[in-house]
């Protein structure tokens, strides 16, 4: 009787995992809002919505962090980097076959940048290592940064006419080799936060100015991620069903127990 219970439990567990992963989206979008914006996507919503509307069945999730300014800005960034790492890792564990899109705006761009490319970032982040998990790094297909205070001139993924760095600019010579081919960072010279300009309206207008360009970039990366890549840096899975090996492990366990039961 006990063996029968174990067998039934193994079958039920395999079925549960199968059902959960089959309900996973092919694409999941994370959006991080700007300083003082109300909880949700904030100005990142323009790109989040465009990508979600362009990809049937795609889901989205906002990064939950303070997005505070003033003398608690650094603490807010620290909390934000941790939130990006935790939320993306939690999702990836539940849906390891889903592709991930990151969209960050202003402070939201800074926390996404730091989580994927590491610091240091003054008192907000001491480590130079990325905070995200290896599973997330394999499944992220595109990263959109708008009005990023970490902006520095000369990076291969920069878009816009800004040459000055932001108020939390990366040091000269900075690179993010693991992700630079899937990042697009938008910053114009008149932006006071990513380029020390003097027009707040510029900082607030990236969704309108570059939303469609960001969408096209994301779509191009999603299309590229459908190809099998086996170079050790990108592992793309287009199916949301569990891997045969994982599900198969339960099947072989059940068969082994049945064989023992009949001996």
* Active-site residue, from 43, 106, 137, 225: 106
Coil, strand or helix at 41: coil
Q: Sort strands 140-146 and 99-105 into parallel, antiparallel or unpaired.
A: parallel
- The lowest-confidence range among 12-21, 115-124, 253-262 is 253-262
Helix axes 45-54 and 206-225, enclosed angle (nearest 10): 40
Q: Is the CB of residue 34 less than 8 Å from the CB of residue 73?
A: no
Instruction: Identify whether residues 109 and 143 lie together within a single domain.
Output: yes
Instruction: Identify whether residues 17 and 91 lie together within a single domain.
Output: no
Instruction: Identify whether residues 234 and 244 lie together within a single domain.
Output: no
Q: Is the CB of residue 43 less than 8 Å from the CB of residue 33?
A: yes
Calculate what percentage of the chain has a pLDDT beyond 90: 75
Instruction: Identify whether residues 104 and 17 lie together within a single domain.
Output: no
Instruction: Identify whether residues 244 and 233 lie together within a single domain.
Output: no
- Supply the pTM of this predicted model: 0.80
Of the pLDDT bands very low, low, confident and very high (cuts 50, 70, 90), residue 238 is: very low
* Active-site residue, from 121, 137, 188, 203: 203
Q: Sort strands 140-146 and 158-159 into parallel, antiparallel or unpaired.
A: unpaired
Phi-psi map region of 147: left, alpha, beta (phi>0 left; psi -120 to 50 alpha): left
Instruction: Identify whether residues 99 and 197 lie together within a single domain.
Output: yes
pLDDT digits 0-9 by tens, 75-110: 999 999 999 999 999 999 999 999 999 999 999 999
* 119 vs 237 pLDDT, higher one: 119
Q: Is the CB of residue 47 less than 8 Å from the CB of residue 214?
A: yes
Both tokens of 148, joined, read: 């990023």
* 191 carries an active-site annotation: yes
Q: Is the CB of residue 109 less than 8 Å from the CB of residue 153?
A: no
Instruction: Identify whether residues 14 and 35 lie together within a single domain.
Output: no
The number of angstroms, rounded, from the C-alpha of 207 to the middle of its chain's C-alpha atoms is 18
The answer on pLDDT for 10 being more than 60 is: no
Instruction: Identify whether residues 66 and 145 lie together within a single domain.
Output: yes
Instruction: Identify whether residues 84 and 127 lie together within a single domain.
Output: yes
- Identify the burial level of 206 via C-beta atoms within 10 angstroms of its C-beta, where 0-12 means exposed, 13-18 middle and 19 or more buried: buried
- Identify the burial level of 195 via C-beta atoms within 10 angstroms of its C-beta, where 0-12 means exposed, 13-18 middle and 19 or more buried: buried
The Cα–Cα gap between 207 and 199 comes to 16
Domain count, the chain: 2
**What is the CATH classification number for the domain harbouring 224?**
3.40.50.1820
Q: What does the pLDDT read at residue 22?
A: 66
pLDDT digits 0-9 by tens, 241-252: 333 333 333 333
Instruction: Identify whether residues 68 and 168 lie together within a single domain.
Output: yes
The answer on pLDDT for 114 being more than 60 is: yes
Instruction: Identify whether residues 15 and 91 lie together within a single domain.
Output: no
* 247 carries an active-site annotation: no
Q: Which residues contact 159 (CB under 8 A, 6 or more apart)?
A: 184, 185, 186, 187, 210, 213
The Cα–Cα gap between 166 and 146 comes to 12
Instruction: Identify whether residues 64 and 116 lie together within a single domain.
Output: yes
Alpha helices in the chain (DSSP H): 2-22, 45-54, 73-94, 107-117, 134-139, 200-204, 206-225, 244-262
Across the strands, what pairs with 103?
Answer: 31, 144
pLDDT digits 0-9 by tens, 123-164: 899 999 999 999 999 999 999 999 999 999 999 999 999 999
- Over the chain, what is the mean pLDDT? 84
Q: Which residues contact 94 (CB under 8 A, 6 or more apart)?
A: 20, 24
* 98 carries an active-site annotation: no
Per the structure, the complete domain to which residue 254 belongs is given by 1-23+240-263
Q: What does the pLDDT read at residue 224?
A: 87
The answer on pLDDT for 240 being more than 60 is: no
């Amino acid at each position: 009787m006990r063996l029968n219970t174990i067998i039934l439990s193994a079958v039920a567990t395999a079925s549960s995992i199968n059902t959960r992963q089959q309900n996973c989206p092919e694409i999941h979008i994370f959006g991080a809002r700007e300083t003082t914006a109300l909880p949700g996507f904030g100005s990142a919503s323009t790109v989040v919505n465009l990508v979600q509307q362009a990809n049937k069945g795609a889901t989205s999730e906002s990064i939950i962090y303070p997005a505070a300014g003033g003398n608690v800005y650094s603490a807010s960034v620290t909390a934000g980097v941790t939130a990006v790492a935790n939320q993306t890792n939690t999702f990836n564990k539940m849906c390891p076959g889903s592709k991930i899109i990151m969209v960050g705006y202003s402070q939201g761009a800074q926390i996404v940048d730091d989580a994927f490319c590491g610091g240091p970032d003054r008192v907000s982040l001491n480590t130079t290592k990325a905070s995200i998990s290896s599973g997330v790094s394999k499944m992220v297909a595109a990263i959109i940064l708008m009005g990023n205070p970490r902006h520095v001139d000369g990076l291969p993924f920069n878009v816009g006419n800004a040459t000055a760095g932001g108020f939390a600019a990366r040091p000269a010579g900075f690179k993010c080799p693991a992700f630079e081919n899937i990042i697009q960072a938008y910053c114009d010279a008149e932006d006071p936060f990513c380029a020390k300009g003097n027009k707040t309206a510029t900082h607030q207008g990236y969704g309108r100015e570059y939303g469609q360009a960001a969408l096209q970039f994301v779509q191009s990366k999603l299309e590229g991620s459908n190809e099998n890549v086996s170079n050790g840096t990108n592992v793309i899975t287009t199916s949301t069903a569990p891997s045969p090996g994982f599900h198969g492990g339960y099947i072989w366990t059940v068969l082994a127990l049945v064989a023992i039961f009949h001996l």
